[in-house]
Amino acid sequence: MNELQPGNLISEAADMVEAARSMVVSTGAGMSSESGVRTFRGEDGFWREHRAEDLASIEGIRKNPELVWEWYRERLKACEELEPHAGYYALVTIQSEKGILPLITQNVDGLHQKAGIEDVIELHGNLGSASCIDRCGAPSVEMTEELFEELPPRCSCGSILRPDVVLFGEQLPEEALRRAFHLADSCDLMMVIGTSMVVYPASSLPLIALQRGVKVIEINPEVTPLSSLDGTISLHGTAGSILPEIVKVVYGG
Ligand SMILES: [Zn+2]
């Protein structure tokens, strides 16, 4: 039993997961940081001299492509070394038992997919591929070692490549956004994991569910604006400890 959490809240959450027919999960930076992903604004050393807005924007890439791509190369390398924690595998279990479990995420590191979670809706894109900054129509390319041999990497048309993540000042991908809102509007249970509840639109998804009288299970070591809302069951602890406990109650093992 998790010491941070009264057991009755775990079993209440487990009952809700078991009863749900169209459950959806939404994850934020906290899910990744438990696996060791450095938070975006807390970069070490050299990168601290630069503002994230100057690196992660179209203007930043055009102005200083080598510097920005060196930064992405480091981020990618850091991501590749990470392994999903037990919380990811607990979600894999729920997904395979229920047959369906769409997952909305603000994370770009691909850890959900690495654990084997399917149907991941990425609101902020994915660090695993890059495409033409001038949208010439060439297909996106996978981020591999060879891509970084000469910086900046270039599209077959000669333009610079840009990572397929949402950069500062850009719109979120339309289809991902449409699906996320549709799921918030149609699910019968939402689980919100490691989300600070300050980044729109992810922060509004549980509110849409709550307004329809749908329960929300929040898993976060910190108290957030969502924690005290009617209809929210808030489990304060790490996803890596709480999710496996819920799964153990529902599916045994
Ligand atoms: Zn191109």
Query: Residues 228-245: pLDDT tens digits?
Result: 999 999 999 999 999 999
User: What's the token pair of residue 46?
Assistant: 């050299």
Assign 38 a pLDDT band (cuts: 50, 70, 90). Answer: low
Question: 38-81+128-165 maps to which CATH number?
Answer: 3.30.1600.10
Active-site hit among 50, 85, 112, 124: 124
Q: Say whether pTM exceeds 0.85.
A: yes
Cα of 58 from ligand 1 centre, angstroms: 15
Cα of 99 from ligand 1 centre, angstroms: 39
Is residue 25 within 8 A of residue 191, CB to CB? The reply is yes
Q: Hey, is 10 helix, strand or coil?
A: helix
Active site residue 124: yes
Q: Render 213-248 in DSSP notation, one character per residue.
A: T--EEEE-SS--TTTTSTTEEEE-S-HHHHHHHHHH
Cα of 120 from ligand 1 centre, angstroms: 27
Q: Locate the domains of the chain by residue range.
A: 7-36+83-124+171-253, 38-81+128-165
pLDDT in tens, 46-61: 556 777 777 889 999 9
Which residue has 């109650």 as its token pair?
249
Cα of 159 from ligand 1 centre, angstroms: 5
Q: Hey, is 190 helix, strand or coil?
A: strand
- Residue 147, Cβ neighbours under 10 Å: how many? 19
CATH superfamily to which 7-36+83-124+171-253 belongs: TPP-binding domain (3.40.50.1220)
CB burial class (10 A; 0-12, 13-18, 19+) of residue 194?
buried
The pLDDT mean for the chain works out to: 91
